[in-house]
């Protein structure tokens, strides 16, 4: 039986549904929409259409479907244009509903297309990767990448519902599952020391009996943060805490070239860099940094760059990050494992030293 977690945002509130299999619930929702005269369209990727054709057919039948190429390359101006043209061909009107069925890339792209099409139509999320389930499908951030940086173009557009069916993870490649674990580890570090301790004792796998409970736990943390600071406007803390490791990670993705590192892999290195920065600022110990790196490595994630990247380019990419405020970078640092804070005015040499220690040159 499905469990439900509500994200309380007034008229933009919605439910996150959890179960091993939500195919019947999704098919029922699609049936209700079409019976009400609302057109439905699906945006997914070719990995999913190859790995889960029966599940897609069971959920959506003959609904118009666009399958994009997997990977960050789909989150481009070209990919965005293709998605909009697809919605036009599907004849979606203002009552139409877009279903984003896939990982974080699909959710970001489909959500932004829904936000822009006819100045905004409804969309619903069916995340199929661990990263999307615990993070990107919840909270309404949508967007695409441009040459200047990751997610610099986008919109806040909350989904009308999220369906987290953990059974869909059965065909997820091991590297993609590991990438999702970077976000799970992030939640433990920023606000749930008990979760971090649990991951340290017993690394999570797709077969772990506690997987569903951990996914629910991460969504609950994010839901409460989003409710308190939906558009990331808090002067300190708030939704910006969810960017732990991401200022470093986004720079890595940009400089290495989108797709060289999976988003979660870059975030994992970013978490290690953020831990080192937190140590240099006197917040956490060497032993705590080592614990972070052990947990990251235990989940099949990199703690250092696979090859050197130029520090000057990484710094330039960080200055283009959307988290820059008043011309200055704001980092998320660890006051202790399980407690994070935002901080501006950090000496550039400390940031550079932290980047060097994870492989920048």
Residue 258 sits in a domain whose CATH number is: 1.20.1090.10
Span 326-344, average pLDDT: 91
* Bridge partners, 342 (sequence order): 332
Spot the catalytic one: 186, 243, 276, 330: 243
Q: Is the pLDDT of residue 210 over 90?
A: yes
Spot the catalytic one: 17, 157, 186, 263: 263
**Annotation says 216 is catalytic:** no
Spot the catalytic one: 75, 150, 186, 246: 246
Same domain, 131 and 228: no
**Domain boundary at 142, 171, 200, which?**
171
**Annotation says 250 is catalytic:** yes
Span 147-176, average pLDDT: 95
State the residue range of the domain holding 246.
174-357
Q: Which of 177, 176, 95, 106 is nearest to 142 (CA)?
A: 106
Predicted local confidence at residue 329, as pLDDT:
85
Dist. CA 132–CA 74, nearest whole Å: 16
Same domain, 89 and 234: no
Span 113-136, average pLDDT: 98
- The pLDDT mean for the chain works out to 96
Spot the catalytic one: 11, 119, 201, 235: 119
> At 86, which CATH number?
3.40.50.1970
Q: Please tell me the chain's helix, strand, coil percentages from 3-state DSSP, rounded to the nearest 5.
A: 50, 20, 30
Span 18-46, average pLDDT: 98
* Coil/strand/helix, residue 186: helix
Predicted local confidence at residue 151, as pLDDT:
92
Question: What are the tens digits of pLDDT across the range 40-93?
Answer: 999 999 999 999 999 999 999 999 999 999 999 999 999 999 999 999 999 999
Predicted local confidence at residue 164, as pLDDT:
98
Dist. CA 186–CA 243, nearest whole Å: 9
**Domain boundary at 171, 202, 230, which?**
171
**pLDDT-above-70 percentage for the chain:** 98
**Annotation says 183 is catalytic:** yes
Spot the catalytic one: 29, 72, 176, 183: 183
Predicted local confidence at residue 314, as pLDDT:
97
Spot the catalytic one: 141, 186, 279, 291: 141
Spot the catalytic one: 222, 279, 280, 299: 222
Q: Output DSSP code: residue 43.
A: E
Q: Is the pLDDT of residue 2 over 90?
A: no
Same domain, 151 and 231: no
* Coil/strand/helix, residue 85: helix
Same domain, 48 and 165: yes
The counts of H helices and E strands in the chain are 14, 11
Question: What are the tens digits of pLDDT across the range 258-279?
Answer: 989 999 999 999 999 999 999 9
**Domain boundary at 136, 171, 206, which?**
171
Spot the catalytic one: 186, 239, 291, 299: 239
Same domain, 107 and 188: no
**Annotation says 294 is catalytic:** no
Report how many domains make up the chain.
2
Q: Is the pLDDT of residue 327 over 80?
A: no
Residue with tokens 């479907």: 65
**Annotation says 150 is catalytic:** no
Same domain, 193 and 91: no
Q: How many CB atoms lie within 10 A of CB 163?
A: 27
Q: Is the pLDDT of residue 23 over 90?
A: yes
Same domain, 99 and 178: no
Q: Is the pLDDT of residue 328 over 80?
A: no
Q: Output DSSP code: residue 174.
A: H
Q: How confident is the model at residue 198 (pLDDT cuts 50, 70, 90)?
A: very high
């Amino acid at each position: 039986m499905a469990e439900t977690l509500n994200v309380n945002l007034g008229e933009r509130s919605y439910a996150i549904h959890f179960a091993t299999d939500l195919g019947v619930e999704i098919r029922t929702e699609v049936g209700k929409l079409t019976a009400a005269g609302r057109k439905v369209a699906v945006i997914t990727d070719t990995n999913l259409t190859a790995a889960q054709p029966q599940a897609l057919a069971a959920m959506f039948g003959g609904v118009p479907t666009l399958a994009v190429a997997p990977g960050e390359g789909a989150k481009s101006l070209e990919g965005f244009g293709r998605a909009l043209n697809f919605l036009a061909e599907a004849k979606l009107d203002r009552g139409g509903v877009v279903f984003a069925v896939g990982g974080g890339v699909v959710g970001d792209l489909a959500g932004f297309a829904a936000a822009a099409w006819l100045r905004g139509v409804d969309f619903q999320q069916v995340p199929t990767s661990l990263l999307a389930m615990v993070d990107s499908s919840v909270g309404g951030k949508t967007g695409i990448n441009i040459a200047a940086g990751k997610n610099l173009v986008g919109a806040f557009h909350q989904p009308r519902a999220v369906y987290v069916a953990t059974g869909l993870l059965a065909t997820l490649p091991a590297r993609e599952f590991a990438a999702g674990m970077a976000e799970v580890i992030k939640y433990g570090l920023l606000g749930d020391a008990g979760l971090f301790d649990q991951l340290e004792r017993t690394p999570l796998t797709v077969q772990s009996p506690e997987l569903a409970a951990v996914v629910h736990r991460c969504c609950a943390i994010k839901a409460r943060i989003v409710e308190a600071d939906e558009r990331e406007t808090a002067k300190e803390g708030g939704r910006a805490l969810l960017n732990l490791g991401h200022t470093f990670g986004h720079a890595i993705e940009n400089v290495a070239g989108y797709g060289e590192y999976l988003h979660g892999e870059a975030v994992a290195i970013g978490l290690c860099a953020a831990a080192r920065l937190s140590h240099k600022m006197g917040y956490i110990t060497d032993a705590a940094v080592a614990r972070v790196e052990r947990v990251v490595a235990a989940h099949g994630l990199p703690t250092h760059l696979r090859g050197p990247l130029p520090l000057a380019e990484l710094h330039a990419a960080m200055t283009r990050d959307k988290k820059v405020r008043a011309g200055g970078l704001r980092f998320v640092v660890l006051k202790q494992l399980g407690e994070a804070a935002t901080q501006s005015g950090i000496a550039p040499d400390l940031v550079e030293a932290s980047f060097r220690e994870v492989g920048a040159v």
